[in-house]
Amino acid sequence: MLSLDDVLEAQPRVEAVARRTPLDYSHTFSRMSGAEVHLKLENFQRTGAFKIRGATNRIATLSEKEREAGVVTASAGNHAQGVALAATRAGVDSTIVMPEFAPISKVNATRRYGGRVVLHGVDYSEAQARAHEIEREEGRTYVHAFDDPVVMAGQGTLGLEILDQCPDVETVVVGIGGGGLISGIATAIKAQSPETRVVGVQAEGASSLADSLDKGEVVELDSVDTIADGIATRRVGEKTFEVIRERVDEVVTVSDEEIAMAVTHLLERAKTLVEGAGAVPLAAVLSEAFDYDEGEVIVPALCGGNIDLNVLTTVLMRGLVETGRYLRIRTVLKDRPGALLHLAEILVDHRTNIHAIHHDRTSKDVAMNAAEVEIDLETRGENHVADLLSDLREHGYAVEVLV
């Protein structure tokens, strides 16, 4: 099994390429949670994610014959970029298979780092199958995204940094996709600070690990569905599962709504852009997905910041809705002069900002002398929304909340 020595051996190789990322104490999230929250800002890493660590270590250990043949891998995006950059820096040819629906920003970035991109399949598992075909056809070395001890050791250097930067850390919170990052971090931390707790977090829509731990073997999901595309894997690795089972203290899940709120809070409060997979550790803290004490020193590892702008728009909108900052309502008005004005006056009295109005007289769901109205509103929080809806209903409007 992966050992601390493996991680320590990886450290100089990784340090030659990867950055030592900041650890930042957050007054905001400490106040919101009651804990002492220090953010490990791995989203500031080269290529925008931790994957460069494991990829660098794996490629640095290739034999001369393997270097000449080149490497191949599969990835939804972050591992793709890490392998592409690490291989290019080492003078090794790389082919990267990515799902057809991978964020275009990650596809383009992988190409810019020098990787040859092949788009195949609807998710990571199908892309991985094609990558193994290329491995056999072209004699390339497959660089696994997570289920490789050398890759895991490279990721574990993040754990070394956390202990060095925050020696009194009591809990480290890490997102889990395939399990490579948390395996490396848990190995590094438990060997040097056994009392430090390691908590893993999965998205509810890609939570294979709970069943796997219950059954004592790796369980594969039929499909995954989450905004956290960086951890949207159907299963954890066989090797990572063994490390997780032995060295990770607890595994919890968070919803897409909680992830979206964490992304929104990080952008607004910490001025930090983090992708869904990078936000799940903070989401777990803020939603109290696991128990912690008042004043407990917690380090959420924000493992990546490569969020597609289209996805960011959706995530931010979801976050605004969940925090009562954005509201869409539907109601029916009498189709007569002044009806819409009267409704707008109530909205103005509550100091809402009207973002958009759709006024439809032709809807088959309303009477001939009525009009259906949908209104998008910028609001100021859950209490503001509740007061607004209450007042509208007191004025006789049958209001339906759409989002």
Instruction: Look at residue 363 and tell me whether its pLDDT is greater than 80.
Output: no
pLDDT of residue 400: 94
pLDDT of residue 233: 86
pLDDT of residue 149: 97
SS3 of the chain: the string is: CCCHHHHHHHHHHHHCCCCCCCEEECHHHHHHHCCEEEEEEHHHCHHHECHHHHHHHHHHCCCHHHHHHCEEEECCCHHHHHHHHHHHHHCCCEEEEECCCCCHHHHHHHHHCCCEEEECCCCHHHHHHHHHHHHHHHCCEECCCCCCHHHHHHHHHHHHHHHHHCCCCCEEEEECCCCHHHHHHHHHHHHHCCCCEEEEEEEHHHCCHHHHHHHCCCCCCCCCCCCCHHHCCCCCCHHHHHHHHHHCCEEEEECHHHHHHHHHHHHHHCCCCCCHHHHHHHHHHHCCCCCCCCCCEEEEEECECCCCHHHHHHHHHHHHHHCCCEEEEEEEEECCCCHHHHHHHHHHHCCCEEEEEEEECCCCCCCCCEEEEEEEEECCCHHHHHHHHHHHHHCCCCCEECC
Query: How sure is the predictor about 230, in pLDDT bands with cuts at 50, 70 and 90?
Result: confident
pLDDT of residue 77: 81
Structure confidence by residue, pLDDT tens digits, 298-329: 999 999 999 888 888 888 888 889 889 999 99
Query: How sure is the predictor about 284, in pLDDT bands with cuts at 50, 70 and 90?
Result: very high
Structure confidence by residue, pLDDT tens digits, 148-159: 999 999 999 999
- Across all residues in the chain, what is the average pLDDT? 94
Instruction: Look at residue 381 and tell me whether its pLDDT is greater than 80.
Output: yes
Structure confidence by residue, pLDDT tens digits, 39-84: 999 999 999 999 999 999 999 999 999 999 999 999 878 999 999 9
Of residues 278 and 336, more confidently modeled = 278
pLDDT of residue 94: 98
State the average pLDDT over residues 4-26. 97
pLDDT of residue 311: 85
State the average pLDDT over residues 353-374. 87
> Among 171, 206, 209, which residue's Cα sits nearest to residue 40?
171
Query: How sure is the predictor about 336, in pLDDT bands with cuts at 50, 70 and 90?
Result: confident
State the average pLDDT over residues 91-103. 93
Report if pTM > 0.85.
yes
pLDDT of residue 293: 98
pLDDT of residue 365: 78
pLDDT of residue 219: 94
State the average pLDDT over residues 182-207. 97
